[in-house]
Amino acid sequence: MSTASTASETRTVRPEEPGKARATIGAIVLVILVVAGGYLSNADWGKLPDIFTEGGRYFSLMLKGLVQNPFSEPYSEYWSAALGGMLESISMAWIGTMIGAVLSIPMGFLAARNVSHPVVVQVTRVILNAIRTLPELVFAIILLLPIFGFGPNAGALALGVGAVGTLGKLTAEALEGIDPGPVEAARASGAPGSAILRWTYWSQVLPEVLAFWLYRFEINIRASAILGIIGAGGIGSVLSQAFRYREWDFIGILLFVIIVVTVLVDAVSGAVRHRIIAGSGVSDAKVEQDAATL
């Protein structure tokens, strides 16, 4: 550095470094927030070392469950309960996605500025935003448990209601991003409104929308586990039961099944998504980015 500046006297002066005041203030505010957060969260920080003392022991107990012969008692029951719960979770996620998908089509059209009347668009968007604000768990608690009782059916419906919010919004955004050419062509040839919607709007967004549905399915699998803790069935219910009785070998098996099945479903669903999107004119990266807000 110093050699460069002294060697060539004729060089232009090095520009001044931009000020760091804003970054510094930001950093200070952030540190204050984090420290205050650590204090106001009422967290019992003294228990932090327990993770290391207890963690290792529990982890080895979990691994112990995994390496046992899966065909001996009680491990055969553990494995079948885990796989059965996972299947139920996947079913809940699938039905939830289907409900969300079917309901989100009309909602998406109603919320698209280039399709519907501005007033309708605003009303629909408010509804979709309201749904997106609340987690599925709240729907399940408020609307579904009193009517449908505890069980996977209530869970699937809650996932469906939750999915409408995000899928409807993404469908509307996809519709707003279409190429207006085909719409004009169809209108010029005198196509009725329904045909315009079906053959120009819907055809253009279909690959993208299908990809969003698959993405939502992947998310619903994780969300179905969450619903399990209030008794909506699936692997979540089995998991919270196992935690209640501290059956660490069972917990190990359950976590293993969740991880493996989720990674597998993500891989399959991801491959199908890439295949659907390939050649549709929409970039893979854009879909991923949009879907990240699901």
Q: Does 87 bind other proteins (CB under 8 A)?
A: yes
Q: Which stretch binds other proteins (CB under 8 A): 110-118, 162-170, 177-185, 251-259?
A: 251-259
Burial class (CB in 10 A: 0-12, 13-18, 19+), 128: buried
CA distance 134 to 247: 33
Q: Does 184 bind other proteins (CB under 8 A)?
A: no
Q: Which of 44, 69, 73, 118 binds other proteins (CB under 8 A)?
A: 44
Q: Does 105 bind other proteins (CB under 8 A)?
A: no
Q: Does 36 bind other proteins (CB under 8 A)?
A: yes
Q: Does 151 bind other proteins (CB under 8 A)?
A: yes
CA 197 to chain centre: 29
For residue 74, is the peptide bond before it cis, meaning its omega torsion is within 30 degrees of 0?
yes
Q: Does 175 bind other proteins (CB under 8 A)?
A: no
Instruction: Report the half-sphere exposure of 173 (CA within 13 A, side-chain side).
Output: 16
Q: Does 142 bind other proteins (CB under 8 A)?
A: yes
CA distance 76 to 7: 78
Buried b or exposed e, range 23-47, using 16+ CB within 10 angstroms: eeeeeeeeeeeeeeeeeeeeeeeee
Q: Does 43 bind other proteins (CB under 8 A)?
A: yes
- Contact residues for other proteins, defined by CB under 8 A: 30, 33-34, 36-45, 47-48, 50-51, 54-55, 58, 87-88, 90-92, 94-95, 98, 130, 133-135, 137-138, 141-143, 146-149, 151-153, 155-156, 222-223, 225-226, 228-230, 233, 236, 239-240, 243, 246, 255, 258-259, 262-263, 266, 285, 288, 292-293
